[in-house]
Structure 1
Amino acid sequence: MRKRTVPSSKATRRCLPWAACSGRGESQMPTAERGYLDDCDEVFRRVKAGFVWTSDDDQHGMEDWRIPEDFDRIRDDCDGFALACRELLREKGHEPRLLFCLTESGGGHLICVLGKVALDNRMVSVETIERLANRFRYTLVSVSGTKPGEDWHDVHLET
């Protein structure tokens, strides 16, 4: 069990959340040939169907990020949902990331992202990252590497 380290909000470099930011600043986008949008929809529907929101404090007495044992029956908060989506997308050969953001009320929130889309337990379907930022007023803070344990990078939208 790993304890969560809250991703930083300090500026370190410019990076778009939907472009996989490598250490060299290269953009790595999922390709249409890999069917990533269909896979995102399938994974989202599967995880959402069995998801029951339960706070980490109620379950573990503290904030706790762990990969759910059963992706079809998840009792967790946003991090359990995002981690389940990430694992299922990885099983399909994709390289999703986790995106830490602040919701419209300022609360911390974790979502899974692949390409330009987000799998977010607060939504009824897969949404674009741009829509979450603009319509739902999410503040994008930091994005993970493509593999568990890789560094997180601050998000700065190009203007």
Structure 2
Amino acid sequence: SSGASSSGASSSGASSSGASGSSGTSGSSGSSGASGDAGSGDAGFGEPCRRDVECAPRICNLEVDRCADPAPNGVGCRRDTECAGKLCNLATDVCAPEAAEGEPCRRDSECAAKLCNLELDVCKPRQPPGGPCRRDSECASGLCNLAVDTCK
């Protein structure tokens, strides 16, 4: 529950956090070692975690707080990095392809047409005058009357 707040930049931190001392290991010859088991976290698949750096080179799946590989579509998620397709639909909390018109969404990036109507929480084209809106980009005219949440 509280682990989601620390996850935002953690996947980029995985590469930088292991930088100190990564080449100074005395026992490694460098000839093999492409197995991907080196890293600052090095936690195995399924082990408990709260951040990606604890699971390098895998990710920490915050849905189950376990080290995992990115999941296929249809599997529960809390953030994009937990999905093999790099898209977690936050309206359904499931890894999914971009949603078609009329399907649930919470962000523009979740929609194939790159527009989520935040008044309706569905992928919709730009609205005509009088249509529901919460921001200017949802209106064909480019202007949403925020006092009444309708397009001008």
TM-score normalised over the length of structure 2 = 0.27
- The structure with the larger Rg is 2
Structure with more strand by fraction = 1
Structure with more helix by fraction = 1
